[in-house]
Amino acid sequence: MAFEDVKAEIGLLLTRMQNEPEDRHELYLQLSEKLNELKAYGMPIPQDLQDLEDALAEEFTEEAGDPA
């Protein structure tokens, strides 16, 4: 997949995240997948997207450890 295609898909994912907050976990997984594709192609990862992925990962890790 071309770099521009991956960037476009990430843009769509971010738009969906704003419109469908109840699917944050699925969107996190999809974002991670797309960022991993960029890494596999040796493309640079935009820092803001890396920060978003890290923040979501931390959020879901905290939720998984929360017994409530």
Q: Containing domain of residue 30, as a range? A: 3-65
Q: How many domains does the chain have?
A: 1
Q: Are 27 and 16 in contact (CB under 8 A)?
A: yes
Instruction: Take residue 3 and report the two structure tokens written for it.
Output: 């770099």
For 15-64, the pLDDT digits (tens) are 877 765 566 787 788 889 889 998 999 999 889 889 988 998 998 888 77
Q: Are 28 and 53 in contact (CB under 8 A)?
A: yes
Q: What are phi and psi of 37, to 5 degrees?
A: -65, -45
Q: How confident is the model at residue 66 (pLDDT cuts 50, 70, 90)?
A: low
